[in-house]
């Protein structure tokens, strides 16, 4: 048991060490053919989301994330939206191969407008708290998220500003519609990084419009645990606002549909 514990501590250290040495990350959501085809047929079948996390430049893969939500719960999102729980495992890909490094859990809630806003909790492979992510109420129609540490103290805000055009009219050929830029600021209001949600190429956009890429730069974020939270934050943002395939004629499964 002692040897196993030492190995798991080494895994956690390797994953965090990897994050501490990176200038940023590129997160690419995987296309699921079954989900895309069923959406084009008019009734999307929600499959498990999956993401690849690369070093800047998008070729050296470091982590991968795979949704662990059961099939029935995944498809209940089309009915209950914000209230439906989901979970995600993040695997470290170097050294030993795909080994679980972090777990992200978004529990069931009774979210409606400003009531019971969604929170996702993050732990390491041993169950030790890393922190949490929260989507607070924004009356200015912007996209804003809070990053909390393991003690529940807010350490960063990620905010798009009011009414980002790329949210309401995403299109891959125009930069103002292709990208949504989130400024990452600390508790003193100092900018420490930037997260960009990007619509991928034209073909992928029309075949699977709910698949997006995320580019993160974090020059002012020093703690690797905080970098792990921001990495998970890209997936939290995707689940919250960009997980609905518009090819589905009945598509209204994004969580924000219940915020209206």
pLDDT of 58 reads 76
Q: Which runs of consecutive H residues, i.e. helices, occur in the chain? A: 2-20, 33-40, 71-80, 165-168, 175-178, 202-207, 224-241
Q: How far apart are the C-alpha atoms of 112 and 208, rounded to whole Å?
A: 28
For residue range 40-92, what is the model confidence (pLDDT) as tens digits? 666 666 778 899 999 998 788 999 999 998 887 777 776 667 778 899 999 99
**Domain boundaries defined on the chain:** 2-156+222-238
- Count other C-beta atoms under 10 Å from residue 95's C-beta: 11
For residue range 154-198, what is the model confidence (pLDDT) as tens digits? 999 999 998 899 998 988 889 999 999 999 999 999 999 999 999
Residue 216 contacts residue 230 (beta carbons within 8 Å)? yes
pLDDT of 78 reads 67
Q: Residue 75 in 3-state DSSP? A: helix
Note the maximum CA span of the chain: 55
Give me the mean pLDDT over the 10-15 stretch.
Answer: 68
Strand partners, 179: 198
Sign of CA dihedral 72, 77, 79, 84: positive
Sign of CA dihedral 141, 116, 190, 170: negative
Question: Which of these, 249, 200, 246, 248, lies nearest to 31 by C-alpha position?
Answer: 200
The distance from CA 135 to its chain's CA centroid, rounded to whole angstroms, is 12
This prediction's pTM: 0.86
Q: How far apart are the C-alpha atoms of 256 and 242, rounded to whole Å?
A: 9
Show the tokens assigned to 104.
């992200």
For residue range 236-247, what is the model confidence (pLDDT) as tens digits? 999 988 877 565
């Amino acid at each position: 048991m002692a040897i196993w514990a030492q190995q798991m501590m080494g895994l956690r250290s390797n994953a965090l060490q990897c994050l501490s040495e990176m200038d940023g990350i590129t997160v690419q959501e995987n296309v699921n053919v079954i989900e895309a085809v069923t959406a084009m047929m008019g009734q999307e079948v929600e499959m498990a989301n999956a993401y690849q996390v690369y070093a800047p430049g998008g070729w050296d893969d470091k982590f991968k994330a795979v949704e662990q939500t059961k099939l029935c719960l995944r498809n209940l999102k089309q009915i209950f939206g914000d209230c439906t729980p989901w979970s995600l495992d993040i695997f470290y890909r170097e050294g030993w191969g795909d080994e679980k490094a972090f777990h992200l859990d978004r529990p069931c809630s009774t979210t409606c407008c400003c009531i019971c806003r969604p929170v996702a909790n993050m732990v390491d492979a041993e169950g030790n708290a890393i922190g949490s992510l929260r989507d607070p109420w924004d009356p200015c129609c912007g996209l804003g998220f809070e990053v909390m540490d393991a003690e529940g103290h807010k350490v960063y805000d990620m905010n798009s500003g009011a009414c980002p055009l790329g949210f309401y009219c995403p299109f891959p050929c125009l930069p103002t519609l292709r990208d949504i830029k989130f400024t990452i600021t600390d508790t003193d209001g100092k900018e420490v990084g930037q997260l960009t949600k990007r619509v991928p190429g034209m073909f992928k956009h029309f075949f699977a419009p709910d698949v997006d890429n995320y580019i993160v730069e974090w020059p002012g974020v020093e703690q690797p645990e905080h970098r792990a939270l921001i990495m998970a934050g890209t997936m939290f943002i995707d689940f919250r606002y960009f997980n609905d395939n518009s090819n589905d004629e009945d598509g209204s499964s994004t969580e924000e549909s219940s915020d209206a």
